[in-house]
Amino acid sequence: MTVEQPISRYSPEFDVPVRGDTITADRYITREWMELENRHLWPKVWHLGGVLAELEEEGDFIRHNFGKESVIMVRQADGGVKAFYNTCPHRGNRLILGDSGSTPRITCGYHGWQFDPDGTLVHVQDPDDFAGGNPCGKVTLSELRCDTWGPFVFWCMDDDVAPLHEWLWPFTDRLAGYKLENWVRVLNVSADCDFNWKIIRDNFNESYHLPTIHPELATFINDGLPTTLFEMYENGHNSMWMIGHQATSRKDYVSGDVPPGLYEAAEAWGIDPKEYRGRTADIREAVIKAKREKGAERGYDYSTMTDQQLVDYFHCTLFPNLTLTMSPEQCQILRTEPHPTDPEKCVFQHWCLYPPVKGMDTIETPVGPAPFRLDAIHRHSTYGDGVSVGFVADQDLSIGTTQQQGLNSRGFKGCILPGQEKRVQRFHEKLNDMVHGNG
């Protein structure tokens, strides 16, 4: 019997072997799996907590609720950022109830205990009524590891996890040319969803769904397997380079007129699409040339980007639950986080950051135009209530509830995956190793 070789293309340098573990339904539906993740997974990874633009002055804070945990990140007098568990050491009351803000002292709303931005207790009622003497200056908030990369703030619960910049590898190097440091988060939306957090992670670990869930992308993103490059890394992260400014090779978009989407992308850079009838694949190189010639005068700094970065889409998936999709004019953050108590629910988050351009007052986001400023669109909703989290993201979420329902069926025996979904297989094998204490 002839064994067919998968046509998907994996980097020879970054291609981790997989074992073929059965991807079982229990990981999506049971509280036992949820507890294993709470114990062995979530403390062992870095979590994206917010953006530095929210922390300009001493005492500025961000709160990040994650499952049953809550963490606050606070700007310090020396310019650094510290992270603390959002719990009062007196009797456990949550200290910060808002998403962000500024305060000279972190104050507990129950008994009025007050803490400086560095977490030191500085005021209590009746300080002489403690057996060990006045606790001020001795008691501190419980601190977590905190670090920054680009415009982002991260926190981690475990002291043994690799430092952030090491943990992020290889993306610190791969994304350096975009100069993300001063990009502005304009879109900050989230939604409660009726499915396990891993369903959307599986979705972002493959592009097999693009022709069926996102058919409109086919006219300006080439999702053909021979041209898409997949990479998998030992640390559990993975990535995908997908050719942009070129229609899919799954259909014949070359011999005729330039299709919609690609047509407008060409026009945006002063290229006449009519001149490319019958050779639509050449538009990609024309856009690279135009961006090199006209980018600076339009306010974009493309000087440190490769030609590939100028026109292609770099999809970076950080284990276990964070995705960055990069293009030279937009950084999308796509993340799912677990529900505090229900394994069949999660929170989906969608951020979009953009490079500042002189004179740019508005920007087109996945939910429509918005003023070019921090969190110009900031809202939380419930998926299905008619509030969009982005057109393409809405499409991704649309399959989540029905998949969750199907995973509860006795008829589901485990996933059957093509070669291009090896990143899904690798994700679950890494997850298996971590929750069972093997990795």
Assigned token pair, 85: 């568990």
* Exposure on the CB side of residue 275, measured as CA atoms within 13 A: 8
Residue 1 or residue 165, greater confidence: 165
Query: Which tens digits make up the pLDDT trace of 63-102?
Result: 999 999 999 999 999 999 999 999 999 999 999 999 999 9
pLDDT value of residue 7: 62
Q: Which amino acid, residue 33?
A: W
Query: Which tens digits make up the pLDDT trace of 170-225?
Result: 999 999 999 999 999 999 999 999 999 999 999 999 988 888 888 898 898 998 88
- Name the residue among 129, 128, 131, 164 with its Cα closest to residue 145: 164
- Name the residue among 381, 356, 393 with its Cα closest to residue 371: 356
3-state SS record for the chain: CCCCCCCCEECCCCCCCCCCCCCCCHHHHCHHHHHHHHHHCHHHCCEEEEEHHHCCCCCEEEEEEECCEEEEEEECCCCCEEEEECCCCCCCCCCCCCCEEECCCEECCCCCCEECCCCEEEECCCHHHCCCCCCCCCCECCEEEEEEECCEEEEECCCCCCCHHHHCCCHHHHCHHHCHHHCEEEEEEEEEECCCHHHHHHHHCCCCCHHHHCHHHHHCEECCCCCCEEEECCCCCEEEEEEECCCCCCCCCCCCCCCCCHHHHHHCCCCCHHHHCCCHHHHHHHHHHHHHHHCHHHCCCCCCCCHHHHHCEEEEEECCCEEEEEECCEEEEEEEEECCCCCCCEEEEEEEEECCCCCCCEEEECCEEEECCCCCEEEEEECCCCCCCCHHHHHHHHCHHHHHHHHCCCCCCCCCCCHHHHHHHHHHHHHHHHHCCCC
* Exposure on the CB side of residue 326, measured as CA atoms within 13 A: 24
pLDDT value of residue 3: 42
Q: State the Cα angle at 209 between 206 and 211, rounded to 5°.
A: 130
Model confidence at 125, in pLDDT bands (50, 70, 90)? very high
C-alpha Rg value of the chain to the nearest Å: 24
Listed in sequence order, the residues at least 6 apart from 352 whose beta carbon sits closer than 8 Å to its beta carbon are 185, 186, 187, 330, 331, 332, 333, 365, 366, 390
Q: Does residue 5 have a pLDDT over 60?
A: no
Q: Does residue 426 have a pLDDT over 50?
A: yes
Q: State the Cα angle at 296 between 295 and 301, rounded to 5°.
A: 85
Query: Which tens digits make up the pLDDT trace of 379-424?
Result: 999 999 999 999 999 999 999 999 999 999 999 999 999 998 999 9
- Name the residue among 151, 181, 438, 410 with its Cα closest to residue 301: 181
Query: Which tens digits make up the pLDDT trace of 265-324?
Result: 999 999 999 999 999 999 999 999 999 999 999 999 999 999 999 999 999 999 999 999
pTM reported for the whole predicted model: 0.94
Q: Does residue 4 have a pLDDT over 60?
A: no
Model confidence at 439, in pLDDT bands (50, 70, 90)? low
- Alpha carbon distance 375, 398 (integer Å): 25
pLDDT value of residue 213: 87
Distances (CA, A) of 77 to 80, 86, 149, 154, 425: 7, 20, 19, 19, 46
